[in-house]
Amino acid sequence: MLNLKIKYFGIIFLFMTLFFLANTLMSSSQIKSEFSNVLDGFFDKIIRFSNFYINAEYKEKEKGTYNFIDGSFLVVNHNSNVLDLKYGINKLKESFKVNEGIYIISILNKSNGKIDYSYFMPLVKSYENKVYSYNEMLNKYNSIDIFDKYGSCDLVITGVYEDSFNNRLIRTVIYPIYIDRKLVSILTIDIDVDYVINNIKRNLGFFSYFISIESNGVIDPSSNKINVSCSESEYLTINIKISKIIMISLLLSSLVYLTYNFIMFFIARYYSIDALTGLYRRDYIDRICLSGEQSLLYIDVDDFKFINDTYGHHIGDAVIVDIANIIKSNIRGKDKAFRWGGDEYLIVLDVIDFKLVIDVAERISKSVQNEITNGLKVTISIGGYVGDAKFVEALLKSDSMLYRSKKDGKNKINIDF
C-alpha cells in the first residue's frame, strides 16, 4: 500500500515538473518578442509626442532656466527660438503609469555641434524635490555621446550605467527626431535598471517565476541571449530556474496528493459510517483487512421490538445511539465497531486474548445496564469468538453464542474459543 502511494505521488510530481518545464520553455521562447513589445510600447507613446514636436510653435527665449508649474523645466544655453513643447511632454508623461520605473523625460535640441536648449520632466518626487545642477544633467548626456553614438539608430535602450546625478543604476531610452532628414533633437527617457525585465515578466505571467533575466549574466548551454539594440556589448541572458520548477512541482504535487487523499477519506467515511450511530456500516467489513487474528463480539439489544412498539421509534433510536456510544467508549482505536443490523452490533477486536475479550464484553454489558434512556433500563445479549478462524467462520460461531445467550434468558455473555 505504501509503495502504491509513493508511485501515485511520483506520477503527480513528474506530471507537474514536465508541465511547468514545458510551459516555461514556451514562455522563454517568447522573451525576444516581449523585449520587442516593450520597445514598441515606448515607440507608440513617443511617436505621438513626435507629432506634437513637429507641430509645436517657436518662442523667443533668453538664456536661462525656466521652471514650470507642472514640475518641468527648460534650460536655454543661449538666446534662441525655442519650440514650446510643454503640452507634448505632459501628454507623454500622462501615458506612463505612476511608479512604473520612469524617472525623467528629457528633450535635447542641438545645432552647430552644441545643445541649444533642453526640456526636463521629472516623473518621481526624488527628482522634483532636488535642486538641479542643469550643467550636470547635460554633461551626463554628453558623456554617453548620445548624439554621435545613437543618432543613426531607431528607438534604443542603452546598457546599464550609474546616473551620477541621482546615484541610480538606470538605462536610457533614446529616440532621435529628424526634420527633413536632419537630426534636430533627441528624446531620452531614464528608466529603472529592471524596467525592461519587469515588463517582460509581467507579460509572461506566472511562468516568469521560473525564468531569470539578467543584464550581461553568465552564459551557459541552457541560456538564451538577447542583444540590446544599438549596443555590441550589452545583452540580456535568459536562464530557466530548474530548482524552482522542482520546488514548486514538489509543493503542488504534495498539495494535490494530500487534497485528493483528504477528499477520498471523507468520501469513504461518508459511505462507510452509519448516520444514526457513527459506527461503521455493515458493508464496510469488506473493505478492511481481516487477518484471522481478531476476535468478535456480536451484540443484540434485548426486547428491542417491545421498546419500539411500546414507546415509539424515536425512543428506540435513542437506545440504539446510547448503546453505540457505550461501545465506542469501551474499545481501543485499532478495534472496529459496526452497526450490523437494526438493533445488532458487531465488534472486531484486534486481539485473541480470551481474558481481554471477556473484560470488554462485561464492561459494555454493565455500562448498558447502568445507562437509563428516557426512563428505560435496557440490557443486551452478547456472543463472541476468540481464535484464529477466518471471518465467516468466526461470525457463525459468534452468532451461535449470541443465540445461546438469548436462550439462557438474555442479558448474558457467551464466548467460544
CATH of the domain at 369: 3.30.70.270
- Please list the residues that pair with 336 across neighbouring strands: 348
The CATH number of residue 71's host domain is 3.30.450
Do 183 and 308 lie in a common domain? no
Write the DSSP string, 185-240: EEEEEEEETTHHHHHHHHHHGGGGGGEEEEET----TT-EEEEPTT-SS-EEEEEE
pLDDT-based confidence at 226, cuts 50/70/90?
Answer: low
Percent of the chain with pLDDT over 70: 81
Do the domain assignments include residue 49? yes
Do the domain assignments include residue 352? yes
What is the C-alpha separation between 28 and 205, in angstroms, rounded? 11
- Please list the residues that pair with 114 across neighbouring strands: 111
Last residue of a domain, one of 161, 185, 210: 210
Do 205 and 285 lie in a common domain? no
What does residue 312 show for φ and ψ, rounded to 5 degrees? 100, 160
Do 156 and 292 lie in a common domain? no
Do the domain assignments include residue 233? no
First to last CA, the chain: 32
pLDDT-based confidence at 100, cuts 50/70/90?
Answer: confident
Last residue of a domain, one of 158, 193, 210: 210
Question: Quick one: 159 exposed, middle or buried, by C-beta within 10 A (0-12, 13-18, 19+)?
Answer: middle
Do 192 and 314 lie in a common domain? no
Do 40 and 143 lie in a common domain? yes
Q: What is the pLDDT of residue 152?
A: 54
Question: Among residues 386, 392, 396, 393, which one has the least CA distance to residue 416?
Answer: 386
Do 286 and 201 lie in a common domain? no
Q: What is the pLDDT of residue 246?
A: 85
Do the domain assignments include residue 129? yes
Per the structure, the count of domains in the chain is 2
352 close to 294: Cβ distance less than 8 angstroms? yes
Do 24 and 123 lie in a common domain? yes
Do 183 and 326 lie in a common domain? no
What's the chain's average pLDDT? 80
Inter-axis angle of helices 2-29 and 242-272, to 10 degrees?
140
Mean pLDDT throughout 55-62? 90
Do 181 and 285 lie in a common domain? no
H-helix segments, 30-145 = 31-55, 86-94, 125-128, 134-143
pLDDT-based confidence at 115, cuts 50/70/90?
Answer: confident
pLDDT-based confidence at 364, cuts 50/70/90?
Answer: very high
Do the domain assignments include residue 309? yes
Mean pLDDT throughout 49-75? 87
Do the domain assignments include residue 161? yes
Q: What is the pLDDT of residue 6?
A: 76
Last residue of a domain, one of 159, 190, 210: 210
Question: Which helix (DSSP H) or strand (DSSP E) does residue 385 occupy?
Answer: strand 380-385
Do the domain assignments include residue 274? no
200 close to 212: Cβ distance less than 8 angstroms? no
Do the domain assignments include residue 243? no
Do 145 and 16 lie in a common domain? yes
Do 182 and 52 lie in a common domain? yes
Do 205 and 284 lie in a common domain? no
- The pTM score is 0.52
Q: Which residues contact 276 (CB under 8 A, 6 or more apart)?
A: 317, 320, 321, 324, 339
Structural domain boundaries, residue 306: 280-415
